Structure 1
């Protein structure tokens, strides 16, 4: 999918209880997707231009009601086919109805104590409705279906992916993407009330995360570096419009303080960043973060954990690129992409990063420019800039 595309848009069908709740594609007049790895549940909003006023919901079980209706969304790529963007649960419809009053002939009609003359009657005719529909991906149903009591892993030899399937399998199907390495899970683990929190914690334990894919499945995917699925670059056949970036002071720690409370006398250890722009001796200043655990009982254990916190923090430093580009419906949050043409002093270079967030609005019924936030490793940025003359 490159530049100079036309005829793109979305098709939305509404389903209820496994059947089409409305026979035709919804008359959507504008729409917006928003995906973000920092959120557990993703959003999809549409405006339905209901010219007959038949779709404005009254009851929970109405096609656009909140009693279980789901939106099936496809992205049409010109004349080249379509891409499934996913299934979304309707969570908030807001209809704005219009009515027109007419006075018509009705021979023989009597209207006692009414300003309406005899032989006439007033009728109301629908002027249609505009229905703003807010929807969420099916993770919202996992979030709502809380555990009735704390649970632990089930079965003789439970695994992480197996437990995710058990926790979510009767709500949505679960699949594992390429690169996911399953492993046994500790049977003493306890899941509290929030089912989705438990799933997310299980994912993190194998360096993964989850997302709802285009088929309505909960997909477990690795957060380690993967092969890029797209290149966002400029030029005649490119996708890129512009690249911005931002930095944030909050969360840039350089002191990692760990306290172990596993003995009568607490133990403490500190690991510090002593070189580079975050050095405790440099202009950044001293910014500590703290961790306490009763699983730590010796100073060596505390220091090992503090050093791990430091190393993890440094490895996790990123530069967020805010990319404006043509629509990329084949890319999801968590995918890896190449971002080309960030220009420094007239020189171009390419960075690889993970997609953190995507915001895809429409311009009426057609897609507008897409905004993508790409997390690039700070080390990769340093390496790339090392070979660039920045003046």
Structure 2
């Protein structure tokens, strides 16, 4: 018996392959590799270190994420996608040479009035249809005019936007309209432009522009709900594995797990896996969600608990306590598990807790 708890095995080689695939798709664009949310659950410091010679820049969502990368010795430019929240953060951004996103006039006013220790690079965020953050297209000229008068801003500034529906093939017209809106608002007025997230990189080559911003695709996951990464030349970067810690005989008509949500229709064997929502595996994974054991698929049965999940091994077989169980990864795409859980693979990989052990494979 050589059982173990949950392990997230991260292939840095797969992540490098996926970045190379993004570059092949957008050969004339530079790359902002998105490592926010702990590199989508894959480990921001390890991923950034692995990609530092491959990516032109890194992108994060939070000021603290950018600070963490700098403190770890990452010297590449870092783009703070949500910008700064106050004058203190702005001053730190200038000092640490972060690129900052400006998405509202309150930030612009801080930039006009806050003394900085070094010039700062600005990306003007334009709202082309997401309607969360961003300067409206009608106000772009005003924002650019004010930015051009700030001596501590490196001129000319850059511009970016974020697609709201590029991952929906049936809504191409909406994304095409966003591309047109962005181009009309920025053409001839800014330095570099960045428009494409992973879905844009994969589906809208005419929008690749000066920089692309691959995120989820770096980790081998497609943004399209009806596909998986291998369909677009990507390799899954994370294998989430655990092991069987018990196998028991189970009679027809017996329930298993909390609330008896599943009752066996036959005599069978139940395998107990050392994985649960305490590790970040989704509690809402329904009976029938597949796992892979010794290259064969088996269905989860019963309710996922904090520390354990149960699987129907069938009445006969050679599975043993200690056998490794793949929850998602090579051979069992996270996208497929996400469809069973009625979520997206982004959520699966980013919600893992600190309990699983992380192993990195070059």
TM-score normalised over the length of structure 2 = 0.24
Larger radius of gyration, structure 1 or 2?
1
Which structure carries more relative contact order (alpha carbon 8 Å, separation 6+)?
Answer: 2
- The structure with the largest strand share of the pair is 1
